[in-house]
A and B are shown apart, each in its own frame.
Chain A
Amino acid sequence: MNKPLRRVAIFCGLLILALLVRDNWLQFVRADELNAHPKNTRVRIERYANERGNIIVDGKPITGSVDSGDEYFKFKRTYTDGPMWAPVTGYASQAYDANQIEKIEDGILTGNDDRLFFDRTLAMFTGDKKKGGDVVTTLNGAAQKAAFEGLGNKTGAVVAIEPSTGKILALASTPSYDPSSFAGYSGKDEKAWLALEKDKNKPKQNRAIREIYPPGSVFKVVTAAAALENGKVKDINAATDTPEGWKIPLSNREMVNHAKGCANASLKRALDISCNSVFAKLGDDVGRDKMVEMAEKFGFNAEQFTPVRSSASVFDKTADRGGNALSSIGQFNTATTPLQMAMVTAAIANDGKLMKPYMIDELRAPNVDLLKKTEPEEMSRPVSQENAQLLQQMMESVVTNGTGGNADLNMDGVKVGGKTGTAQHGDKNAKRPYAWFISYAKTAEGSPVAVAVIVEDSAGTSREDISGGGLAAPIAKAVMKAVLKTRG
């Protein structure tokens, strides 16, 4: 009986071997995949197992953690002024994962990042509790407050940038939501989440960076920049050869002007009163390819990472002549995020140098050691210094002589440049138009702030009264004022 016995012994050995091989497959080959599987709640358990680090504005945390006494997720995220900061922080929910900074810097905030290895090891020996690191933002609390309160119960967004560095100073979006309301995983949190999901006003949408809108007239500054850069206009005060009733190429329609006095208006005058015909014709003169080139230098047709990803703004690369002319006044397929328009404004205010926008200034270890500091980075130079200054002259004229009077700060030593926009949209422009305003403030030391404001719709404002100058400019003004004040 010994021969079959030996064979059975080999068979049993093979059974054990099969188990060993399977285990290696599971725990060595597939370990990472299984560990990172979306169904694996360990990631979330780990995220909330320790006190999470904070997101910091002006040296003060705008987030917090409370011990929820729960057996799954020990700590729960809290937010100070949640709705105001939601477009910046994003949310960290025990049930619904996380997004934006909470997600991107999860490693630092949970303390699991490799850069915190030393801290963790040290804490192991000293017996300290593991704690997450902090994310220090570039935001300016006062500016954010001005933006958020300026938008009030209107739907819209505000982005403010420091032109010389690209630091984002304000990032507001309304209507907003309170990330605290669904930070846990109870029935109450679920209800809050579902209510937000179903809300027709899309409060969870980050309008400042994730929504693209037709820019309307504010896009004219890009067209003006293209005209100057391509030598189509040399003197901004010289008359352009534009007849009143300029015909859109490849169509029988004429370009309608809402302002009077656009016939052969100078570039400066045309921007002051926002002449459609002048800019449509300029866009046509520059040509589609050069227009596309200019728009893309400003950041169009690409996603921006601040490091939160924004949607890509659009300038149509394949439009025909008529489409290009319409695109040049911010209509047709042109669509932009508020962030993109703030970048355009910042580049002009910064004498033609576009800085890469960012909102995470520093990453800090739990012991306040600096892990990483974001250095300002030049993204492109859409316009030359001279042309940028010409554009500044024109935009300042818009505020002093044109449609942007509501943004004037009336402060000594501060010049304000701006541009209004009232974007028609919808089928046959039937929907209520969007009110845009872009502006910057400039002192002798340069420009501390550039702002883009969009007010999507405002119940209670009659259609005729919706205009960039009327609705959006005061918000931009408040934001600029707040920034100037905090800079002393």
Chain B
Amino acid sequence: MSVVTNTTTIGAIEAPSRRNTELALLAFAVAIPVFAYLNVGLAMDGKVPAGMLGYGLGLGLLAAVAHLVVRKWAPYSDPLLLPLATLLNGMGLVLIWRLDQSPRLIATSMRRYGTFNPDAPSQMMYSAIGIAMFVGVLLLLKDHRVLQRYTYISMVVSLILLLLPLVPGLGADVFGAKIWIRIGGFSIQPGEFAKLVLAVFFSGYLMVKRDALALASRRFMGLYLPRGRDLGPIITIWAVSLLILVFENDLGTSLLFFGMFVIMLYVATERTSWIVMGLLMAVAGAAVVGSTASHVKSRVAAWLDPFGCLETATDQNMLNACDQMTQVLMSFGSGGILGTGLGQGNSDLIQFAANSDFIFATVGEELGLAGVMVFLLLYGLIVERGIRTSLAARDPFGKLLAMGLSGAFALQIFVVAGGVMGLIPLTGMTMPFLAYGGSSVIANWALIGILIRISDTARRPAPAPAPSPDAEMTQVVRP
């Protein structure tokens, strides 16, 4: 967004900061989840839920802190991003709290572990840490271009983050996916943070090398192939990250990284051939992984014919995958157009991971087609505001970073929602903000923080020109 400047010498007119718009939207973003709490409580127990005040105040407080920080330290930033993230986070809390009340999940947990720990309080805490992260980004990162300096450090950091779960004693195998590390009592999914750091590395590297990648290339079969020394490092880091993730059984994230990489490369070089090559590589990779990894085979089978594969499943893993998929589909189907109403569905039949990977099924069942579309559009808006920021950004690094982050965000939405709704095979990632999980919430708040920082820089009016010494003289002389 270019700054509207007055051509007379009176000075630049300030672009509207839209902070009050943001405040009004935030009020809605807090009020809607509070009403949703009330709704769940009334539907499930017939009374106003005891925690409503606590959660409402908590969410309101977090939103207020975030807003004040934005008002002070990023006054020109995009007014939509913060309310959208707050609304999604708040609704996520409601949905997780709703699943906490499910007698079935409680009973299953009691049978399996002998105890039941509700997830909503921890999610509330993670949200607070997430907002703290957001505030930290805005306070520490006065200018996003500073990140450019850490291009190669980012590369190293992202590799370390990705490798951590493979370190013996630190990594924890949770239901087959080795993507967790356990420190003290906390589990962290480093992949979520690697997403941000990798985006910084890609942006920094591509910004420097984009001309070389775009121009110094040989034509081969209609495609422009760049020189190895330009492409080498990036291919390496990408391949290594993919290998690690395949090793860790985390296909969703590897798909996400790959997609983010291709998009950024395309934007940086403006060459369509990258898209073609990217697609070819993706197909090749998918074919290799799909035909070798057994858990991928299960998921592909569950995707192709979920109900059929319940009968034809060859092993317990495949049976579980298919059963889960059918449960999710039936959840969506039972929701219909308007849904059963919050607290009145049976999405807890999905059992394991109902509040993390499959939380979108609860949206589908209890809020129906209407609710799911609203959520998809909310996510779509975040992506759109991110790309808007990228378009408005004046420096290539900021452009690439905003694009990479919002592209990755869009891909994540597509992969998760598409997987849960049976559009593509399930890959096991979480809906940003909505699903239960500390790393995800914290990393995504950081992502929003960076986007807000870039948008603030992009929309900040140019400093007013220095007062001209002969301003007096050129004033209109009235007759």
Residues of A within 8 A of B (CB): 1-6, 8-9, 11-13, 15-16, 18-20, 22-24, 26-28, 30-35, 37, 39-42, 45, 71-72, 127
A5 touching B387 by the CB < 8 A rule? yes
In the complex, what's the smallest C-beta–C-beta distance from B94 to chain A, in angstroms? Answer: 20
| Chain B residues whose CB sits within 8 angstroms of the CB of A41 once the complex forms | 346, 349
B333 touching A33 by the CB < 8 A rule? yes
In the complex, what's the smallest C-beta–C-beta distance from B454 to chain A, in angstroms? Answer: 13
In the complex, what's the smallest C-beta–C-beta distance from B375 to chain A, in angstroms? Answer: 10
Contacts A8-B267, A34-B329: A19 and B399 contacting too (C-beta < 8 A)?
no
Which listed segment binds A: B54-62, B281-289, B365-373?
B365-373
Q: A45–B380 Cα gap in the complex (Å)?
A: 35
Question: Which 3 pairs across A and B sit closest by C-beta, in order of nearness?
Answer: A34-B333, A27-B369, A12-B410
| Chain A residues whose CB sits within 8 angstroms of the CB of B406 once the complex forms | 12
B267 touching A5 by the CB < 8 A rule? yes
List which B56-114 residues lie within 8 A (CB) of chain A.
103-104, 106-107
* Residue B121, interface by CB 8 Å: no
Contacts A5-B399, A16-B379, A41-B349: A71 and B104 contacting too (C-beta < 8 A)?
yes
B377 touching A39 by the CB < 8 A rule? no
* Residue B268, interface by CB 8 Å: yes
Q: A329–B104 Cα gap in the complex (Å)?
A: 61
| Chain B residues whose CB sits within 8 angstroms of the CB of A33 once the complex forms | 333
| Chain A residues whose CB sits within 8 angstroms of the CB of B383 once the complex forms | 12, 16
B330 touching A40 by the CB < 8 A rule? yes
Of B267, B270, B330, B373, the contact of A37 (CB 8 Å cutoff): B330
* Residue B421, interface by CB 8 Å: yes
Given contacts A16-B376, A35-B330, 19 further A-B contacts (CB under 8 A): A3-B270, A8-B263, A9-B384, A12-B380, A12-B384, A13-B380, A15-B410, A16-B413, A19-B417, A27-B333, A27-B336, A27-B364, A28-B336, A31-B336, A37-B330, A39-B307, A39-B310, A40-B330, A40-B334
* Residue B163, interface by CB 8 Å: no
Name 29 interchain pairs, CB-CB below 8 A, sorted by A. A1-B267, A1-B268, A2-B391, A5-B267, A8-B267, A8-B403, A8-B407, A9-B384, A9-B387, A12-B380, A15-B413, A16-B379, A16-B380, A16-B383, A16-B413, A19-B413, A22-B421, A23-B332, A23-B372, A26-B329, A27-B336, A27-B337, A32-B333, A33-B333, A34-B330, A39-B326, A39-B330, A40-B330, A127-B46
Of A6, A28, A34, A40, the contact of B337 (CB 8 Å cutoff): A28
For chain B, the bracket of interface size reads 35 or more
Contacts A5-B267, A71-B103, A71-B104: A19 and B376 contacting too (C-beta < 8 A)?
yes
B418 touching A22 by the CB < 8 A rule? yes
In the complex, what's the smallest C-beta–C-beta distance from A426 to chain B, in angstroms? Answer: 38
A19 touching B421 by the CB < 8 A rule? yes
B333 touching A31 by the CB < 8 A rule? yes
B107 touching A71 by the CB < 8 A rule? yes
A34 touching B396 by the CB < 8 A rule? no
Q: A72–B326 Cα gap in the complex (Å)?
A: 18
Contacts A1-B267, A1-B396, A8-B266: A20 and B336 contacting too (C-beta < 8 A)?
no
Main DSSP-derived SS at the B contact region:
helix
| Chain B residues whose CB sits within 8 angstroms of the CB of A20 once the complex forms | 373, 376
Q: A61–B478 Cα gap in the complex (Å)?
A: 102
| Chain A residues whose CB sits within 8 angstroms of the CB of B267 once the complex forms | 1, 4-5, 8
Contacts A16-B410, A26-B332, A40-B334: A1 and B417 contacting too (C-beta < 8 A)?
no
* Residue B423, interface by CB 8 Å: yes
* Residue B335, interface by CB 8 Å: yes
Q: A3–B399 Cα gap in the complex (Å)?
A: 12
| Chain B residues whose CB sits within 8 angstroms of the CB of A71 once the complex forms | 103-104, 106-107
| Chain B residues whose CB sits within 8 angstroms of the CB of A3 once the complex forms | 270
Residue of A nearest to B264 (CB): A8
A27 touching B413 by the CB < 8 A rule? no
A5 touching B390 by the CB < 8 A rule? yes
Q: A33–B333 Cα gap in the complex (Å)?
A: 8
| Chain A residues whose CB sits within 8 angstroms of the CB of B418 once the complex forms | 18-19, 22
Residue of B nearest to A41 (CB): B349
Q: A101–B46 Cα gap in the complex (Å)?
A: 33
Interface centre among A5, A6, A42, A71 (most CB of B within 10 A): A5
Contacts A1-B396, A27-B369, A35-B336: A8 and B387 contacting too (C-beta < 8 A)?
yes
Of B335, B337, B391, B422, the contact of A5 (CB 8 Å cutoff): B391
A35 touching B268 by the CB < 8 A rule? no
Of A5, A19, A37, the contact of B307 (CB 8 Å cutoff): A37
Q: A5–B264 Cα gap in the complex (Å)?
A: 9
* Residue B224, interface by CB 8 Å: no
B380 touching A23 by the CB < 8 A rule? no
List which B386-412 residues lie within 8 A (CB) of chain A.
387, 390-391, 396, 399-400, 403, 406-407, 410-411
* Residue B126, interface by CB 8 Å: no
Type the 1/0 row for B308-336, where 1 means its CB is closer than 8 Å to any CB of A: 00100000000000000010011011111
| Chain B residues whose CB sits within 8 angstroms of the CB of A13 once the complex forms | 380, 384
| Chain B residues whose CB sits within 8 angstroms of the CB of A27 once the complex forms | 332-333, 335-337, 364, 368-369, 372
B310 touching A42 by the CB < 8 A rule? no
Of A6, A15, A18, A34, the contact of B332 (CB 8 Å cutoff): A34
Q: A1–B329 Cα gap in the complex (Å)?
A: 41
Q: A35–B337 Cα gap in the complex (Å)?
A: 12
Q: A340–B344 Cα gap in the complex (Å)?
A: 47
Q: A4–B268 Cα gap in the complex (Å)?
A: 8
In the complex, what's the smallest C-beta–C-beta distance from A280 to chain B, in angstroms? Answer: 52
| Chain A residues whose CB sits within 8 angstroms of the CB of B335 once the complex forms | 27, 31
Residue of B nearest to A30 (CB): B333
In the complex, what's the smallest C-beta–C-beta distance from A334 to chain B, in angstroms? Answer: 41
* Residue B205, interface by CB 8 Å: no
Q: A253–B15 Cα gap in the complex (Å)?
A: 112
| Chain A residues whose CB sits within 8 angstroms of the CB of B413 once the complex forms | 15-16, 19
| Chain A residues whose CB sits within 8 angstroms of the CB of B329 once the complex forms | 26, 34
In the complex, what's the smallest C-beta–C-beta distance from B36 to chain A, in angstroms? Answer: 19
B336 touching A26 by the CB < 8 A rule? no
Residue of A nearest to B400 (CB): A1
Residue of B nearest to A127 (CB): B46
* Residue B414, interface by CB 8 Å: yes
Q: A11–B380 Cα gap in the complex (Å)?
A: 12
| Chain A residues whose CB sits within 8 angstroms of the CB of B421 once the complex forms | 19, 22-23, 26
Interface centre among A4, A30, A31 (most CB of B within 10 A): A4
Type the 1/0 row for B412-438, where 1 means its CB is closer than 8 Å to any CB of A: 011001100111000000000000000
In the complex, what's the smallest C-beta–C-beta distance from B218 to chain A, in angstroms? Answer: 21
Q: A28–B369 Cα gap in the complex (Å)?
A: 7
List which B154-170 residues lie within 8 A (CB) of chain A.
none
Q: A11–B337 Cα gap in the complex (Å)?
A: 27
Residue of A nearest to B268 (CB): A1
Residue of B nearest to A26 (CB): B332
In the complex, what's the smallest C-beta–C-beta distance from B455 to chain A, in angstroms? Answer: 14
Q: A22–B336 Cα gap in the complex (Å)?
A: 13
Q: A31–B384 Cα gap in the complex (Å)?
A: 30
A34 touching B373 by the CB < 8 A rule? no
In the complex, what's the smallest C-beta–C-beta distance from A28 to chain B, in angstroms? Answer: 6
Residue of A nearest to B263 (CB): A8
In the complex, what's the smallest C-beta–C-beta distance from A150 to chain B, in angstroms? Answer: 46
A12 touching B407 by the CB < 8 A rule? yes
Q: A32–B417 Cα gap in the complex (Å)?
A: 21
| Chain B residues whose CB sits within 8 angstroms of the CB of A18 once the complex forms | 414, 418, 423
| Chain B residues whose CB sits within 8 angstroms of the CB of A32 once the complex forms | 333
Of B106, B266, B364, B377, the contact of A16 (CB 8 Å cutoff): B377
